[in-house]
Amino acid sequence: MNTKPVSRRKLFPHTDPRRAGRLRVSSLHELYWEDAGPVNGIPVLGLHGGPGGGASAEMRRFFDPRHYRVVLFDQRGCGRSSPYSSLEDNTTWDLIEDIEKLRKELGIEKWLVFGGSWGSTLSLAYAVTHPERVSGLLLRGIFLLTQRELRWFYQEGASHIFPDAYDRYIAPIPEDERDNLLEAFYKRLMSDDKQARLEAARAWACWEGETLSIRGPAERPPRFDDNAFVDAFARIECHYFHNGGFFEKDGWLLDQAHILKDIPGVIVHGRYDVVTPMSSAWALHKAWPKSRLEIIPDAGHSSLEPGIVNALINATEEFQHILG
C-alpha cells in the first residue's frame, strides 16, 4: 500500500520590524522591543524562553505577516535590554509589570500571548494576573516551574535519557556537591570568580542546548557556544529557579488555572520533550477546559521541530479566524 508523506507547514518568510524602541521600566532597567506587521493587525505578544534567552525574529515567522501585528521584547537582563545579565529587580512580577507598561506604551487593549518553555510560564502568569488583557493563549512546551520539573531536568530524570550530555553538564561540580546540582550551580553562577562562573554557565546552558531536540546533542543551537549569551542565560535561569519562579508556593500556576476559564488556548507539546515533560501540559489541559492540547508524536522541546512548527502555524490560523 502506498502512503503519501505527511505535508507539514513551513515557517512564514522572515520579516523586519516596522518599528523598534527602548522602554525605561525602572530606574535600572531599559527594555528593547520590536513591533512588526500591520498596525491594525491582530495583536500578538511573543514571550521568549529562558528566562534569559532573549527574543528571536524566528518567533514572528509562526504568524502570517499580512494579518498579525507581532510585538517582541527582550526581558530584563538579556538580549538587547540593559543592564545585561543583571539579576537586580529581576523577578516574574517585575516582568509582568513590564508587559503592562509595554502594552500601554504601544496602545494595545488586549493581545494573543504566545510563548514556549519559560515563555509559557510567563504567559500563564501574565494571563492569570491580567486575564482581561489576554484574547487567547498559544503555548508550547509547558513549564509550570515546579520543584518536580526542576528535579527532573536539573537533578535526575532527563539524565537517564541523555547520559552523555549529563556527564558534560555535571563536570564542573565536585562529586560531594552533586546531591543538589541546582544549589551547586547557583553558588558558582553568582560567584565573583569569572572563570568558575563561565565554566558553570557553559555547562548549564549546553545541557539545555543539547537536550532541546529529539535528535539530541548534535542539534545544539550555535548561540550556546557564545560566552556572553550563556552567562546571562545561565545566571538568570538559575536565579529564577533558585527562587521558585518567585511564586508564593510550589504549584501556584496550576492552582490559578481556573482564572483562564474564559480564555481560548492551544497547547502544543512534543511527546518526547525531555526539558519540560508532557505531564505538565497534560495537567494544565485538564485544569483548563477551554484549552486544546495537541501532542506531537515525533518531537522534543524545540519550537523548530517540523511537527511543532506545523501545529503552531495551524493554531495561528485558527486564532486568525477567532480573533480577526
Tell me which of 273, 285, 291, 303 is the catalytic residue.
273
The residue among 50, 260, 261, 230 whose CA lies nearest residue 143 is 50
167 noted as active-site residue: no
Tell me which of 117, 120, 123, 303 is the catalytic residue.
117
Residue 205 CA: distances (Å) to CA of 93, 181, 268: 24, 14, 24
273 noted as active-site residue: yes
231 noted as active-site residue: no
Measured torsion, CA atoms of residues 322, 124, 166, 203, in degrees rounded to the nearest 10: 110
The whole-angstrom separation of Cα 141 and Cα 302 is 8
Q: Which three cell numbers stand for residue 153?
A: 531536568
H/E element, 100: helix 92-106
Determine the angle formed by the axes of helices 147-154 and 181-189, rounding to 10 degrees.
Answer: 80
Q: Which three cell numbers stand for residue 7?
A: 505535508
Answer yes or no: are the C-beta atoms of 318 and 266 closer than 8 Å: yes
Active site residues: 117, 273, 301
